[in-house]
Amino acid sequence: MRAVSVEEAVAMIPHGASIMVGGFMGVGTPERLLDEVVRQNKTDLEVISNDAAVPGKGVGKLFDATLVSRLTATHIGLNPKAQQQMLAKQVAIDLVPQGTFVERIRAGGCGLGGVLTPTGVGTLVAEGKRQIEVAGTTFLLETALRAKFALVHAFLADYLGNLTYALTARNFNPIMAMAADTVIVTAEHIVPVGVIAPDHVVTPAPLVDYLITNG
Amino acid sequence: MRAVSVEEAVAMIPHGASIMVGGFMGVGTPERLLDEVVRQNKTDLEVISNDAAVPGKGVGKLFDATLVSRLTATHIGLNPKAQQQMLAKQVAIDLVPQGTFVERIRAGGCGLGGVLTPTGVGTLVAEGKRQIEVAGTTFLLETALRAKFALVHAFLADYLGNLTYALTARNFNPIMAMAADTVIVTAEHIVPVGVIAPDHVVTPAPLVDYLITNG
Amino acid sequence: MDAQAIIARRVAQELRSGDLVNLGIGIPTLVANYVPAGLKVFFQSENGLIGTGPIPEQGMAHPLLTDAGGRPISALPGASTFDSAMSFGLIRGGHVDVTVLGGLQVDAHGHLANWMIPGKMVPGMGGAMDLVSGAKRVIVAMQHAAKGKSKIVAKCTLPLTSARPVNLVVTDMAVIAFADGTATLVETAPGVSVGEVVAVTEADLIIPNAVPEMQI
Amino acid sequence: MDAQAIIARRVAQELRSGDLVNLGIGIPTLVANYVPAGLKVFFQSENGLIGTGPIPEQGMAHPLLTDAGGRPISALPGASTFDSAMSFGLIRGGHVDVTVLGGLQVDAHGHLANWMIPGKMVPGMGGAMDLVSGAKRVIVAMQHAAKGKSKIVAKCTLPLTSARPVNLVVTDMAVIAFADGTATLVETAPGVSVGEVVAVTEADLIIPNAVPEMQI
C-alpha cells in the first residue's frame, strides 16, 4: 500500500478505463475520487456501479460531466441524466439483477469463472446466456466481472491499509476491493495500526494499492 | 431463535442426519454439541467438516465413537482413526479442495446452484465433473452443498442470536450458518442485545434457529 | 380507510414473529407502520442492514445509514450491517421469510411483472428479481386496477420479474392466493363484494363457497 | 548449513516488501525465520489470518489463534482475521503474491505432485490445490532427492496438485525456474557443481553458460 494524494491517484487512471465504484445511491461512494475524476476530465469511462445515484451525488457526477461510455448497474431509475444518456445512446447500459451483479464481482475477485444463479431464469435477463441444469433445477451461468480500477470508500483505514466500513456505506466496497487490478481507497479516518482489531477488519491491508491521504 | 439446552438441541438430530460442523483442526468447533452427540449416540452421521481434527478433539470425537458413515472434508491426515475407518470402508470419504469446499457450502447457503473454479482442472478432482469454458479458460463446475443441521461455534451471541467469532475460530462457521435447514449455535459468551455493534455482527440473528444456553 | 392503508394493514397480518422481512419501495414500505407492537419482526434493507427502524428524529440522521433509496433510516438495538454479497446471499438463499413488493401486473399463474415497461420505463430491476426468485414467501402489494384496467391479468404482457410465481397478492379490493398455477380469491376488502372483484379482475379466479372479508 | 536451512534461506530471498505470502507445512514454515528484518511481508494462514507472528511465549497462547495445523501462533499488529470463504477468495483470486509449498515430485514442465501417494498416503489436499492454482507465484521448497531418487522428474507419476506449473523450485542442491514447459537451472547450492545437479536430476534441465552459486 502507498499513501498518495487524490490528484496523483486519479492521474493513474487513463481515459477509457474500466472502474468499479463502491456505494449504493451515493452512500459509501468515494466522492473525493469522483470529484477529481471530473476535474481531470477522464472520458469514456466504463463504470461498474450498483446505480447511477442522483445528479450531483456519487456516480451521478460522472453523468453530469458526460464522462461515462458504458455503465454496468442494477438500477438507474433515480438519475434522469443517466436515463437520457442511455436513451440517446451516448451511454451503453447493462442492467443486471443486484444479487447477480455482486456475485459476478465477487467471482472476479475470488478467482471463480462464474456462478450459477436461479435469478433471471425465464426472464429477459436470460437472453444470450448459458443455462445449466443441476439436480433438476435450471440456473443461469453468470460470468465473473473485473475492472482495471476499484474506487473504494472506507470508514477507517490504518497505516497498513486495513479497512472497516460504516453501517450501510459498506455495500459493494469490500467486494470491489478484491476485483480490480488497482484498488484506490478513501477513508473517513486514517488511524494508527492496531486501532482496528483483527476481527473487525473487513478488507485486509494487502488488498489495498493506494490510500488517499486526508486533510 | 430459541434458547435451548444442549440435550434438547441434539435430541432433534435424527440418526443418519447430515450435519455441517464448524471448526478447523478442532479450533472453533462446538465441542459441547459434539460431546452430546456422542452421549446420545447419534449414528450413521453424514458429516461435512473441513477436517477430521485429531482423536479426542472436535470432529475427531465422532470418529472415536464410530458415529460417522460419510465425511466430506478437505484433509484427514492428522486423524489416524478417520484414516483407518476410511481404509476399512466403514466411512465413505469425499475429499474436496478447501477453496472448493467452502465455495460449495457458500453456494448452498446463498441460493446458488454452484460455482466455476479453476482449482482441480487437470487433476483427479476433475473426474466425473462438468468442465465449462468461459472466455477461453476451463473451469470445473462445483455444485452447492447443504445439510440438515449446522453445528456452529461463536465467540459472542446476543439474546437475539447475532454472532461474532474470535480470531482463527471463525473459519467455516459463518458460511455453514447459512447452509443448513436448522442452525444450532454454542457461544463462549451470551451477551445482551446491543453489546455487539451492528458493524461487528458476522452472522445476523435471523440465521440462528437454536442457541445453546450457557452455565 | 384509503386504498394504501387497507393494503398495508392486511399485508402486515401475514408477518410472523421472528420473520426476516424485506419491504419494497412504495406501498410495501407502509407495512412496517402496521406491525403489531408485540410482534418481533426483522426488517432487512437490501443495501446492507437487518433491523431497520423508523425515520430518525430531526438532526439525528446519519449520512451512512440509509434505506435502499438513499433516505435516512434508523437501526434498532440488535441490528446488523453487512456487504451486498451477504445481503443477497440472505435473499437468494431463502433466508428472507417474506418479501413484499409492488407490482405492475400479476397473472393467473402468479407471475409478476414489476420492473420494466418497454420503451417507457427502463429503470433496472435492482434487487427485485433476486427477491422474487429467492424469498421464502413473496407478497405483492398493489392497487387492484390502474386507470380502470385490471392489474391482475390472464397473462403478463410486460416482461416478467421471475419465473417463480408469487404466493399472495393483496390489493385494495381483495386478497388472492396463488398455487399450482391457479389464483384463488381468499378475502375481499371491507364493503367490496365477490361480484365486484370478479368484475374488475381480468384473470380467472377460483371462488370458494365462502369468501370472508378482511379483518383490518 | 543443513539442507532445510539452505532451502528456507534461499526461498526467503524471493520475497518482496508488501507481499502477501502463504507458507505450507514443513520446510516452507521455516522461511519466515529468514525474512530480513526490514522487509514487510504479510504472512497468511489459510485458516483465516493475515499477519501471523511467531509462536507465542509460554502461557501467552490463545486456543482460538492457531495455524492451519492447529498449533498456537501469534498475530502481529495490523493483523486481520476472516472466514474461510474470504481466505480462499484471497488465494484463488490471485491476491496471494507468493505461496511456498512442499513437494513430492515436480516434473520438467513444472507440474507439482504433493498431496497423495495412491494406496499409501491419502490425507486430502487441504488448501494445496487452490494455492497452486491461484497464487501469483508458486515456489516449491523441498529436498532435491529422496532415498537417492530425484524428486525433479521427467513426468510426474503421482497425481498432480494442479495443471498450472509452479514458477520456482528451491532445493538443497539448486534453484530451478520453470517457464513455457521447460526447466532452467538458475543457481547451485554452495559447494555443489552443475555436474552434480545434472547427475542427480531426472528431468532435463536447460543449463545457461553461467550458473551462479546461491548467495545465502
C131 touching chain B per CB within 8 A: no
pLDDT at A215 over 80: no
pLDDT tens digit string along C157-179?
Answer: 999 999 999 999 999 999 999 99
Mutation pick from C52, C60, C64 vs chain A, by most beta carbons of A within 10 Å, is C64
pLDDT tens digit string along C43-77?
Answer: 999 999 999 999 999 999 999 999 999 999 999 99
Q: In degrees rounded to 5, what are phi and psi of residue B150? A: -120, 130
> Would you state the pLDDT for residue D122?
84
Task: State how far the Cα of B41 lies from the Cα of B44, in Å rounded to an integer.
Answer: 10
Residue with cell 539448486: D174
Residues 28-67 of B with CB under 8 A from A: none
Task: State how far the Cα of C79 lies from the Cα of B82, in Å rounded to an integer.
Answer: 42
Residue D172 makes CB contacts below 8 A (sequence gap 6+) with: D3, D4, D6, D7, D143, D144, D189
Instruction: Say what percent of chain A tops pLDDT 90.
Output: 99
For residue A48, the cross-strand partners are A20, A72
Quote the minimal CA–CA distance from C38 to chain A in Å.
27
Q: What is the mean pLDDT of residues D45-62?
A: 95
Quote the minimal CA–CA distance from D77 to chain A in Å.
6
Strand C174-179 versus strand C168-170 pairing type? antiparallel
The residue among A86, A57, D112 whose CA lies nearest residue C71 is: A57
> Would you state the pLDDT for residue C122?
84
B110 CB neighbours in chain A (<8 A) are 103
Among the partner residues B106, B111, B193, nearest to C78 by beta-carbon distance: B193
B162 CB neighbours in chain C (<8 A) are 78, 80
pLDDT tens digit string along D130-158?
Answer: 999 999 999 999 999 999 899 999 999 99
Cβ separation B199–A144 shorter than 8 A? no
A117 touching chain B per CB within 8 A: yes
| Distance, C-alpha D176 to centroid of its chain | 13
Contact yes or no for A208/A186 (Cβ under 8 A) = no
Q: How confident is the model at residue D1 (pLDDT cuts 50, 70, 90)?
A: confident
From first to last of the 215 residues of chain B, give the pLDDT tens digit. Answer: 999 999 999 999 999 999 999 999 999 999 999 999 999 999 999 999 999 999 999 999 999 999 999 999 999 999 999 999 999 999 999 999 999 999 999 999 999 999 999 999 999 999 999 999 999 999 999 999 999 999 999 999 999 999 999 999 999 999 999 999 999 999 999 999 999 999 999 999 999 999 999 97
Verify whether residue D46 is a known catalytic residue. Answer: yes
pLDDT at C190 over 90: yes
> Would you state the pLDDT for residue D15?
97
pLDDT at C209 over 80: yes
Contact yes or no for B18/B182 (Cβ under 8 A) = no
Q: How many CB pairs under 8 A join A and D?
A: 58
Contact yes or no for A180/A145 (Cβ under 8 A) = no
pLDDT at A182 over 80: yes
Q: Cα dist. A19→A66, C136, C176 in Å?
A: 15, 35, 46
Contact yes or no for C174/C185 (Cβ under 8 A) = yes
Looking at per-residue pLDDT, the higher value among C128 and C122 belongs to C128
> Would you state the pLDDT for residue A150?
98
- Chains touching chain A, criterion 3+ CB pairs below 8 Å: B, C, D
D49 CB neighbours in chain A (<8 A) are 198
Q: What is the mean pLDDT of residues A157-169?
A: 98
> Would you state the pLDDT for residue D173?
97
- Ramachandran bin of C97, using left for φ above 0, alpha for ψ from -120 to 50, beta for the remaining angles: alpha
pLDDT tens digit string along A102-152?
Answer: 999 999 999 999 999 999 999 999 999 999 999 999 999 999 999 999 999
Mutation pick from B105, B106, B116, B163 vs chain A, by most beta carbons of A within 10 Å, is B116
A75 CB neighbours in chain C (<8 A) are 123-126
Local structure of D164: helix, strand or coil: coil
A136 touching chain B per CB within 8 A: no
> Would you state the pLDDT for residue D174?
98
> Would you state the pLDDT for residue B64?
98
Task: State how far the Cα of D57 lies from the Cα of A156, in Å rounded to an integer.
Answer: 31
Looking at per-residue pLDDT, the higher value among C121 and B117 belongs to B117
Mutation pick from C47, C121, C133, C136 vs chain A, by most beta carbons of A within 10 Å, is C47
The C-alpha angle B49, B51, B57, rounded to 5 degrees, equals 95
Q: Is the pTM of this model over 0.90?
A: yes
Give the total residue count for chain B. Answer: 215
Locate the chain B residue with the closest alpha carbon to A169. B199
Task: Report chain A's mean pLDDT, rounded to a whole number.
Answer: 97
Contact yes or no for B158/B26 (Cβ under 8 A) = no
> Would you state the pLDDT for residue C163?
97
The residue among A26, A80, A76, A18 whose CA lies nearest residue A48 is: A18
Q: How confident is the model at residue C25 (pLDDT cuts 50, 70, 90)?
A: confident
> Would you state the pLDDT for residue A166?
98
Among the partner residues D48, D88, D159, nearest to B124 by beta-carbon distance: D159
Among the partner residues C49, C95, C134, nearest to B206 by beta-carbon distance: C95
> Would you state the pLDDT for residue D119?
84
Looking at per-residue pLDDT, the higher value among D186 and D122 belongs to D186
Cβ separation A175–C85 shorter than 8 A? yes
